[in-house]
Chain A
Amino acid sequence: MYALEMFEITKEFPGVKALDRVSFKVKKGEIHALCGENGAGKSTLMKVLSGLYPAGSYSGEIRIHGQTMRFRNIVDAEKAGIAIIHQELALVKEMTVGENLFLGREPKKFGVIQWDELYYEATRWLQKVGLNISPQTKIQSLGIGQQQLVEIAKALAKQANILILDEPTAALTESEVEILMSILEQLRNEGVACIYISHKMPEVFRLADSITVLRDGKSIATLSRKETNEDQIVSLMVGRELTERYPYVARKPKEVVLEVKNYSVWHKDKPVKVNDNVHLSVRKGEIIGIAGLMGAGRTELVMSLFGAYEGKAEGSVQINGKEVRIRSVQDAIRAGIALVTEDRKRLGLVLGMDVKTNTTLASLKEISKFGIINQNEELKWSQKYVDELKTKTSSIETPVGTLSGGNQQKVVLAKWLMAKPKILILDEPTRGIDVGAKYEIYHLMNKLAQEGVAIIMISSELPEILGMSDRILVMREGRIVREFTHDQATQENIMMAATGGK
């Protein structure tokens, strides 16, 4: 008897097929792991299941306990017993545990909240998940692990019998993970169906009864844990054929430009390290790729090197053999570092300003005298980069918000090229841009490396990492766990290192 059956689910976004005839079945009293790379379609599938994408916006069929369901919204899905616990916890920090457990469904009499009843019930549900705290505690005084358990209690209080956990252990300490696991095992015995989304192979193999692998929006296989092993799962996750060609050219990198030793970064408001004891070096004219799954600490590392991460950093950073201390973005720019951020709309561009002003934003000093901008120089430089990068824009005075993703990315690149960096860091440089622009960016990277720029590229797309990098570093849980040369690296060994397989 299946608690949940999803048949042939297809979900399209403009231009992309996020899910392509995905089928997925979960038994009652089973922990079912859902594995796949970033962007494989796990989250989209769960959004379909939890009613975030209403029936009609996708094709296919969902059955709960054998009955066909059409969820119009999240409430419908909740009524059917589905609860999702997101990676970012959705609790109101200023309220008490009890208030959160019953948020929106407070026990009422004539519109008046029955507080005694609420807190009595809350205590019962907290005991169920093994939390020995008063329901009057404020959420903000709890640790992440405890908050996670409150979320689970909240789901159970809604009579959920299908529980979706999205990367539940990402922010937990080891002992918290243990507690969570024993709770999940207990829930399994009570007949709750759990869908467990995780990147971490050891956890998946310890907990799951069955494993379904998604890749590029397709369901690849569903296997019983007893019949499979980590190697098989990882190769299924990455097992696409490498048909795309990358314009890789063998390079002879010269002297070391950037050398980072014993580098640790602390979280900006929690006493945990987001990067622990990182060593890395980049040579002149070299492209290194940093692979890893979401939350591996890659973005934090480069933001910190760029002086833009709020958390404290310790360790040594040397540029051209000289120790540098980078405390701010200005320091970084002066030291010759440029960072093309991951989220260009939020962090890279001023969308209301035009192509020209965005291009010159980081190097206005170069084109001004006594703080007065030479506007002709500005026109000249921005036109130069529009031509060089083949940015498609009706004029250099067009607001960047109206350009396509690929062309916006080119404007961001132009901004940093104009700053003449020695070290160029690219964080997911081709995310969400069209194929043509992608290849132009790859060629640009090769050209820059040729000219002697040291390039660090973060990417979640393995083919891109494999296709462009001279060396590949794999990060997991804030550490660099493996290093491969261009020739050693394969999709499988990178993914194995990134998921913590043996």
Chain B
Amino acid sequence: MEVKTVINERPFERKRMFGKIDIRAYTMIGALIAIWIFFGLLNDTFLSARNLSNLFTQMSVTAILAIGMVLVIVAGHIDLSVGSIVGLTGGLAAILSNWLGLPTSVVIIGTLAAGALIGVVQGWLVAYRAIPAFIVTLGGMMVFRGALMGITKSTTIPISDANFIALGSAYFTNSFGLILAAVAIAALVISTIKKRKSRERYGFRVAPLSLDVAKVMLVSALIVVFVLTMNSYKGIPFPIIFVIGLALIFSFIANKTTFGRHVYAIGGNSEAARLSGIRIQRHTMVLFLFTGLLSAIAALVLTARLSSATISAGQMYELDAIAACVIGGTSLMGGSGTIMGAIIGAMVMTSLDNGMSLLGMETFWQYIVKGSILVLAVWIDIASRKKQAH
């Protein structure tokens, strides 16, 4: 009997370990690679360094918005206003920079403060006044678009501040890119070693050394390939650093902090969360503060990249962000979703856009394909969850 249980345990343990690495994440990455190969075969330029660099720059705005959106959706809410916040704060940045001639740092701080303030107001209405987030942010979507038209007098405001423009269109020099890669790899190695040591100190089983080494090597290789590819064109585009930085920060918040844990608990079962002493209202408000702030960051990147603010800037971006989250495995029922998933989702959306444009497909096809992919992704997700349940 004793022997039997031991034998039974082994395969189970192994399965769990692979299960933990998350099959869903791998299918998403697999789908992304498939899309890249597909477009690469049909069009020579798709996988060129120049196009990949463009693709990453293109996806940065959607990705930044999706980072905030994930947490809001995980908590069981939605934010439909992010596109309009991008427009409004972008317009504000242009006014501060062009009309008032303020230095770049003041423009940045002012824009971020405005985004955060908008987020807090919406968050307060959702959390403390119990108005459904759908309504508050739908209202916000119209109000902020209107406000943008008002403050810009419906004109396009060009940006002339070169520092500002650099935020969206500059590249890191090749050597700086290599230093960055080295730092990232070093950080990866150190954190892996630290984690192993700490687990050992607590007497927990550590993963086999070979597995950790393989993991570190794979990720390092990806970093090196990425940097070399970018360097072979003009270097790492500035906006992508924002995306990577924010993704790391928010992944940390989601996975390692009490705040993040509470957000997942609220989305998973808000009653149980409340009865465990979690401050649901305050957390909800902070989430909207985050989406406001991230929208302002996205606005800076977008305005800088286009070197002007227009009244249509950011239109429909909320839907791209939501689609990125959903394709990345975030459940609209709340309680589950990851930042990395959303980033991959944003990459899938942008790759489709970019690839189809390169192939010269007409715009109407692009909409149809993107919409269909969205529904298909959720369909597959729901079907696979059902299978798991049986």
Interface residues of A (CB under 8 A from B): 306, 308, 328-330, 332-333, 339, 341, 346-353, 357, 361-362, 364-365, 368, 371-373, 375-377, 379-380, 394-395, 397, 415
Asked if B268 and A353 make an inter-chain contact with CB atoms under 8 angstroms apart, the answer reads: yes
Asked if B265 and A350 make an inter-chain contact with CB atoms under 8 angstroms apart, the answer reads: yes
Asked if B264 and A394 make an inter-chain contact with CB atoms under 8 angstroms apart, the answer reads: no
Asked if A349 and B269 make an inter-chain contact with CB atoms under 8 angstroms apart, the answer reads: yes
What residues of A have a CB within 8 angstroms of the CB of B276 in the complex? Answer: 329, 361-362, 415
Given contacts A339-B275, A349-B272, A415-B276, contact A394 B261 (CB under 8 A): no
Rounded to whole angstroms, the CA-CA distance of A476 and B20 in the bound complex is 50
Looking at the complex, which one of A328, A341, A351, A353 makes contact with B264 (CB distance below 8 Å)? A353
What residues of B have a CB within 8 angstroms of the CB of A395 in the complex? Answer: 16
Asked if B204 and A379 make an inter-chain contact with CB atoms under 8 angstroms apart, the answer reads: yes
Rounded to whole angstroms, the CA-CA distance of A393 and B122 in the bound complex is 42
User: In the complex, what residue of chain B is closest to A395 when comparing beta carbons?
Assistant: B16
Asked if B272 and A347 make an inter-chain contact with CB atoms under 8 angstroms apart, the answer reads: yes
Asked if B261 and A373 make an inter-chain contact with CB atoms under 8 angstroms apart, the answer reads: yes
What residues of A have a CB within 8 angstroms of the CB of B256 in the complex? Answer: 372-373, 375
User: In the complex, what residue of chain B is closest to A378 when comparing beta carbons?
Assistant: B261
For residue B198, CB closer than 8 A to chain A, the reply is yes
Asked if B269 and A351 make an inter-chain contact with CB atoms under 8 angstroms apart, the answer reads: yes
Closest 9 CB pairs of A and B: A350-B268, A362-B276, A364-B258, A329-B277, A350-B269, A376-B202, A333-B277, A361-B276, A330-B277
Rounded to whole angstroms, the CA-CA distance of A196 and B276 in the bound complex is 40
**Residue among B256, B261, B336 with max Cβ neighbours from chain A (10 Å):** B261
For residue B335, CB closer than 8 A to chain A, the reply is yes
The minimal Cβ–Cβ distance linking A475 to chain B, given in whole angstroms, is 21
Asked if A341 and B265 make an inter-chain contact with CB atoms under 8 angstroms apart, the answer reads: no
Q: How many residues of B contact A (CB 8 A)?
A: 29
Rounded to whole angstroms, the CA-CA distance of A394 and B272 in the bound complex is 23
In the assembled complex, 28 residue pairs joining A and B whose CB atoms fall closer than 8 Å, in A order, are A306-B275, A308-B274, A308-B275, A329-B274, A329-B277, A339-B275, A346-B271, A347-B271, A348-B272, A350-B268, A350-B272, A350-B273, A352-B268, A352-B335, A353-B264, A357-B261, A361-B272, A362-B277, A364-B262, A368-B257, A373-B256, A376-B198, A376-B202, A377-B202, A379-B202, A379-B204, A395-B16, A397-B20
What residues of A have a CB within 8 angstroms of the CB of B259 in the complex? Answer: 371
Rounded to whole angstroms, the CA-CA distance of A186 and B362 in the bound complex is 77
What residues of A have a CB within 8 angstroms of the CB of B262 in the complex? Answer: 364
Asked if A347 and B275 make an inter-chain contact with CB atoms under 8 angstroms apart, the answer reads: yes
What residues of A have a CB within 8 angstroms of the CB of B201 in the complex? Answer: 376
Asked if B16 and A394 make an inter-chain contact with CB atoms under 8 angstroms apart, the answer reads: yes
Task: Knowing that A372-B257, A397-B20 touch, tell me 14 more A-B residue pairs with CB under 8 angstroms.
Answer: A328-B277, A329-B277, A346-B271, A347-B272, A348-B272, A348-B275, A350-B269, A352-B269, A361-B272, A361-B276, A368-B258, A372-B256, A372-B258, A394-B16
Rounded to whole angstroms, the CA-CA distance of A361 and B269 in the bound complex is 12
The minimal Cβ–Cβ distance linking B243 to chain A, given in whole angstroms, is 23
User: In the complex, what residue of chain B is closest to A361 when comparing beta carbons?
Assistant: B276
Rounded to whole angstroms, the CA-CA distance of A376 and B274 in the bound complex is 25
The minimal Cβ–Cβ distance linking B111 to chain A, given in whole angstroms, is 27
What residues of A have a CB within 8 angstroms of the CB of B271 in the complex? Answer: 346-347
User: In the complex, what residue of chain B is closest to A331 when comparing beta carbons?
Assistant: B277
Asked if A376 and B204 make an inter-chain contact with CB atoms under 8 angstroms apart, the answer reads: yes
Asked if A365 and B268 make an inter-chain contact with CB atoms under 8 angstroms apart, the answer reads: no
Rounded to whole angstroms, the CA-CA distance of A372 and B252 in the bound complex is 9
What residues of A have a CB within 8 angstroms of the CB of B215 in the complex? Answer: none
Interface residues of B (CB under 8 A from A): 12, 16, 20, 198-199, 201-202, 204, 256-259, 261-262, 264-265, 268-269, 271-279, 335-336
Rounded to whole angstroms, the CA-CA distance of A412 and B13 in the bound complex is 25
What residues of B have a CB within 8 angstroms of the CB of A333 in the complex? Answer: 277
User: In the complex, what residue of chain A is closest to B269 when comparing beta carbons?
Assistant: A350
Rounded to whole angstroms, the CA-CA distance of A328 and B271 in the bound complex is 13
The minimal Cβ–Cβ distance linking B195 to chain A, given in whole angstroms, is 9
The minimal Cβ–Cβ distance linking B189 to chain A, given in whole angstroms, is 19
Given contacts A329-B276, A351-B268, contact A365 B258 (CB under 8 A): yes
What residues of A have a CB within 8 angstroms of the CB of B20 in the complex? Answer: 397
The minimal Cβ–Cβ distance linking A358 to chain B, given in whole angstroms, is 8
What residues of B have a CB within 8 angstroms of the CB of A371 in the complex? Answer: 257-259
The minimal Cβ–Cβ distance linking B359 to chain A, given in whole angstroms, is 40
Asked if A373 and B258 make an inter-chain contact with CB atoms under 8 angstroms apart, the answer reads: yes
User: In the complex, what residue of chain A is closest to B331 when comparing beta carbons?
Assistant: A352
The minimal Cβ–Cβ distance linking A426 to chain B, given in whole angstroms, is 14
The minimal Cβ–Cβ distance linking A414 to chain B, given in whole angstroms, is 12
Asked if B258 and A350 make an inter-chain contact with CB atoms under 8 angstroms apart, the answer reads: no
User: In the complex, what residue of chain B is closest to A329 when comparing beta carbons?
Assistant: B277
What residues of A have a CB within 8 angstroms of the CB of B277 in the complex? Answer: 328-330, 332-333, 362
User: In the complex, what residue of chain B is closest to A398 when comparing beta carbons?
Assistant: B16
Rounded to whole angstroms, the CA-CA distance of A365 and B262 in the bound complex is 11
Rounded to whole angstroms, the CA-CA distance of A348 and B272 in the bound complex is 5
The minimal Cβ–Cβ distance linking B152 to chain A, given in whole angstroms, is 39
What residues of A have a CB within 8 angstroms of the CB of B274 in the complex? Answer: 308, 329
Rounded to whole angstroms, the CA-CA distance of A280 and B372 in the bound complex is 62
Asked if B12 and A376 make an inter-chain contact with CB atoms under 8 angstroms apart, the answer reads: no
Rounded to whole angstroms, the CA-CA distance of A119 and B228 in the bound complex is 80
Asked if B335 and A350 make an inter-chain contact with CB atoms under 8 angstroms apart, the answer reads: yes
What residues of A have a CB within 8 angstroms of the CB of B261 in the complex? Answer: 357, 361, 364, 373
The minimal Cβ–Cβ distance linking A415 to chain B, given in whole angstroms, is 7
What residues of B have a CB within 8 angstroms of the CB of A379 in the complex? Answer: 202, 204
What residues of B have a CB within 8 angstroms of the CB of A375 in the complex? Answer: 256
